[in-house]
Structure 1
Amino acid sequence: MLRRFQLRWRFGGFVGAVLLLALAAAGATYAYTRGGGEAAPVPAAQHTGEPVQLQTPTPTPTATATPTPEPRYPSLIDGVELTEAEFRQLAARFPIGVMIDNSALAAPQYGLSRAELVVEAFVEGGITRYLAFFWRNDASRLEPVRSARTPFLYWALEFDALYAHAGSAATGTVANAEAQIREWGIRDLDGLLPPAGPAFYRDPTRVAPYNLTTSTSALREAAARLGLASGFPTVEVWPFKADFEGTASAPLAGAIELSYRNQPVPWDLRQWQWDPVTNTYLRFYRGGPDVDALTGEQLRFKNVIVMYVPAYVADDRGHVLLEQFGEGRAQVFLDGRVVEGTWRKADRASRTRFYDRQGNEIRLNRGPIFIQMVAPDSFVRVYWRVTDLPPMPPYQQPAVAPDPATEPDHPSPTLEPETPTPSPTATVPPSPTSTPTVTPTPEPSPTATIPEPSPSPAGAGG
């Protein structure tokens, strides 16, 4: 009889099990005779004290589909991962490169914290200039926009970028950026010429030429109107990685001091301090935190790259050119460490790439990048820890030399939108009375790594 119920369990499942338990609880079972009539009593089952083994059903596994990870796509400039929808929305957008002034009267700048890549390099008179790139990010205000220089044109070509500037060096020499923009087919947005002029305006709280202002949205509208943004950009993306991946064996580099001079001149000194919480390098400049006047945020970047590039003065107006083809020393700072290596660029059409000492291309962290293109004899000092870094010296404004670029007070045609609200920090610094004295080079920290400089051509630093 027990076997009969076991068979019913196999075929009846849960109903059979319930029936079996109910009959057992009653203490007896009844069977009906084949011919009908009254049921004959059947003796109750004898209990032996051993547990009755009931067979339980084996559950049938439910087939579940393994979810396919959503594909991710690297941003064209800084490698930040985007969803397919995000990438499709941006795919036809061309990067924008904007020339931003860095002379004494240019501070504070607007919009640099929104950039995905900033390149800083010599121009003339011992000063530098920035080229800020935007693709996935936008900036509602970019100021002050300044004139084009040849070394930055190579970067604009690498990113197939719309190139925003205010005039150009027109020298008749190898530093003739004005002619090179035309000859090299750069997507030109010159704020001083009528086609793109409406995308720019003058900030009335500053003096010209340190007050030309624009935005990424205005530049994109101008590019569309001029037919410069049709099709898709062609960009070879750098290799990227997750934070802290593959850098554990690299030397520590918690802080950096850098000057484009061959010694740490106070008005030209920059410091980078690694923040382990965000895994970014914070920028300090002109005596304190380097703050974006647009966002009020201190500039911070996931990657800081120092490129050592020979430089020379190309003409009697002091325009500086850099020897950007070939290769040279590079230091890539990321994850609180430094990867020593080499930069390489074969020709105008190729990408600048970075390789470690074993010849492997260096993978950057996904996120904003700052490139410092310095001379081989520029002052660069690396510290293991932020606590090893000497205090930032007070800022001493240099004597302001006449600006070599001739720029009118207003772009042509003039188009000024609503007057911007003056920023409490957007004031013109007072004119200096003397040239600051150079402070002596401090003794190196025991933890510092000092590069071995090679001499640069005369006049490279200005």
Structure 2
Amino acid sequence: MRRTARTRHGVAAVLLTVAITGSLLTACDSGGGKGGSAESEPPQGQHQQGGGRTPAGPEGPVLAVKIDNVSAARPQTGLDQADLVYAEQVEGGLSRLMAVFATKLPAVIGPVRSARESDLELLGQFHDPTLAFSGAQHKLLPLIDKAPLNPEPPDKNSSAYFRDNGKAAPHNLYLRPQKLMGTAPGAAALTTGFHFGAAPSGGTPVTSRTVRFPSARFTFTWSEQLHRWLVAMDGTPTVTADGKQVAPATVVVQYVRVRESQFHDVLGNYSPYSQTVGSGKAQVLRDGRVFDADWKRPSAPEGTRFTTADGKPVNFAQGQVWVVLAAE
């Protein structure tokens, strides 16, 4: 039986410390696939303004989905409807996405892939989030089960997942999110600490920004017509399986410590750990301009605050947000 939120949160700090320093092997992969998604505009809800943990939305916690991001997994499904997308580095310098859904649930999301140790720290900012993932290395699974989140891999809820023969395994595992949650929880569940509102003063005009990982790259190109940033990954425009352009209103390049974990997969590839608790520099892209910012997240249960040099919050534009966790 699932523990209550009160009990789970009572051990959150200890478990998150274990997740950061504990002894695990890199998570293994088993997912991938495609499917149709419900039509919608990018989510627009006003997100949490404070930095600490608050109660989940009226219908429950957010849904976080680990999404495959190699070329064989594209185009993805449902990515345009996420409220928040994190881009993180994985083995071999490749990238993987974590899409967070609160205001809307598409019919299908994917391809779904495996969890990593650093996901526990990243998801600590949300109140008892549901994590959909294809699996994990067996030594990581106990930490996932004890963390302050609700894990939902296929072996726990097989009816929520399916494989699509249009893609080869492991890039063909897809999620029907309504089988896990029923309804979207609402914007109040997005306890990220982000501020939304009018743009800060200043900034520098920019038409395009590229962020590089060792074996992957993200390019965001400003569209005056859409008033959004058009996403391209590894040089290819990012569209969903049903042809929708992925176009966030705000892009954050957050410079974090990416350290080498002491654990690795069977091929000897070490899993990068993107450290999202702490402080550092960032760039915020909105309205065709880039703003220099500082970021701070004192502990895992808190959200991340982005501020100007004088300590004022950097407001994001309403709509989907992408956060690229780049090496400092």
TM-score range, shorter chain: 0.7 to 0.9
Q: What secondary structure, in the 3-state scheme, does the structure 2 residue paired with 1:155 have?
A: helix
Deviating 4+ runs (over 6 angstroms): none
Residues in 2 aligned to 1:104 and 1:219: alpha-carbon distance in whole angstroms: 27
Residues in 1 aligned to 2:83 and 2:277: alpha-carbon distance in whole angstroms: 24
Q: What secondary structure, in the 3-state scheme, does the structure 2 residue paired with 1:130 have?
A: strand
1:297 aligns with 2:297: no
Deviation at 1:76, TM superposition (A): 6.0
Bigger Cα Rg: 1
The residue type equivalent to 1:304 in the other structure is V
The residue type equivalent to 1:201 in the other structure is F
1:257 aligns with 2:205: no
Q: Matches of residues 315-394 of structure 1 in structure 2 within 5 Å?
A: 315-317=263-265, 318-376=270-328
Q: What secondary structure, in the 3-state scheme, does the structure 2 residue paired with 1:198 have?
A: helix
Residue number among 122, 133, 144 corresponding to 1:165 in the alignment: 133
Alignment correspondent of 2:236? 288
Deviation at 1:134, TM superposition (A): 0.9
**C-alpha RMSD of the superposition:** 2.4
Q: What secondary structure, in the 3-state scheme, does the structure 1 residue paired with 2:124 have?
A: helix
Alignment correspondent of 1:271? 219
Q: Is the 8 A contact 1:76 1:135 kept in 2?
A: no
Residues in 2 aligned to 1:325 and 1:155: alpha-carbon distance in whole angstroms: 8
**Of the two structures, which has the highest relative contact order with CA contacts closer than 8 Å and spacing of 6 or more?**
2
Q: Matches of residues 102-141 of structure 1 in structure 2 within 5 Å?
A: 102-141=69-108
Residues in 2 aligned to 1:286 and 1:319: alpha-carbon distance in whole angstroms: 21
Q: Deviations for 1:29-75, whole angstroms, at most 9, x for unmatched residues?
A: xxxxxxxxxxxxxxxxxxxxxxxxxxxxxxxxxxxxxxxxxxxxx83
The residue type equivalent to 1:185 in the other structure is P
Residues in 1 aligned to 2:281 and 2:189: alpha-carbon distance in whole angstroms: 30
Q: Is the 8 A contact 2:199 2:317 kept in 1?
A: no
Q: Is the 8 A contact 2:193 2:303 kept in 1?
A: no
Alignment correspondent of 2:109? 142
Q: Matches of residues 11-30 of structure 1 in structure 2 within 5 Å?
A: none
Q: TM-score, structure 2 length as denominator? A: 0.76
- Structure in which a larger fraction of residues adopt strand: 2
Residues in 2 aligned to 1:304 and 1:287: alpha-carbon distance in whole angstroms: 17
Q: What secondary structure, in the 3-state scheme, does the structure 1 residue paired with 2:191 have?
A: coil
Q: Is the 8 A contact 2:48 2:192 kept in 1?
A: no
Q: Is the 8 A contact 2:47 2:190 kept in 1?
A: no
Residues in 2 aligned to 1:164 and 1:278: alpha-carbon distance in whole angstroms: 31
Q: Which runs of 5 or more residues in structure 2 are unaligned?
A: 1-43, 50-56
Deviation at 1:236, TM superposition (A): 5.6
Q: Is the 8 A contact 1:76 1:237 kept in 2?
A: no
Deviation at 1:153, TM superposition (A): 2.5
Q: Is the 8 A contact 2:126 2:301 kept in 1?
A: no
1:235 aligns with 2:196: no
Alignment correspondent of 2:200? 247
Deviation at 1:106, TM superposition (A): 1.4
Q: What secondary structure, in the 3-state scheme, does the structure 1 residue paired with 2:91 have?
A: coil
The residue type equivalent to 2:247 in the other structure is R
Residue number among 154, 176, 180 corresponding to 1:215 in the alignment: 176
Residues in 1 aligned to 2:138 and 2:260: alpha-carbon distance in whole angstroms: 15
Of all paired residues, the percent bearing the same amino acid is 25
